[in-house]
Amino acid sequence: MSKSISGFSKLSKSKKIDWVVDTYFSNKEEAKTIIKQYWNANDKLQQLHDEFIENTITNYYLPLGIAPNFLVNNNLYTIPMAIEESSVVAAASKAAKFWLNRGGFKTEVISTTKIGQVHFTFNGDYNILKKYFQHIKPQLIANAKPITKNMEKRGGGILDIKLIDKTNSIANYYQLHATFETLDAMGANFINSCLESFANTFKTEAIYFDGIKDSDIDIVMSILSNYVPECLVRAEVSCKVEELNEDPNVSPEDFAHKFIQAVQIAEVEPYRAVTHNKGIMNGIDAVVLATGNDFRAVEAGVHAYASRNGSYSSLTHAKVDNGIFKFWIEIPLALGTVGGLTGLHPLVKLSLEMLNKPSAKELMMIVAVAGLAQNFAALRSLTTTGIQQGHMKMHLMNILNQFNANDNEKTTLIEHFKTNVVTHSAVVEAIENLRR
Alpha-carbon distance of 387 to 162, in angstroms, equals: 48
Choose the catalytic residue: 94, 361, 391, 395: 391
If we measure between CA atoms, which residue out of 230, 192, 224, 288 comes closest to residue 112? 230
Q: What are the φ and ψ backbone dihedral angles of 239, each rounded to 5 degrees?
A: -165, 170
Whole-Å CA distances, 87 to 83, 290, 393, 396: 10, 17, 9, 11
Alpha-carbon distance of 67 to 91, in angstroms, equals: 9
Choose the catalytic residue: 184, 236, 294, 362: 294
Burial profile 356-376: b = 16 or more Cβ within 10 angstroms, e = fewer: eebebbbbbbbbbbbbbbbbb
Q: What angle do CA 260, 261, 267 make, to 5 degrees?
A: 90
User: Residue 170, class by beta-carbon neighbours within 10 Å (0-12 exposed, 13-18 middle, 19+ buried)?
Assistant: exposed
Choose the catalytic residue: 18, 50, 85, 246: 85
Please say whether the beta carbons of 313 and 267 come within 8 A. yes
Choose the catalytic residue: 278, 393, 410, 416: 278
278 is catalytic: yes
Alpha-carbon distance of 126 to 284, in angstroms, equals: 43
3 is catalytic: no
Active site residues: 85, 278, 294, 391
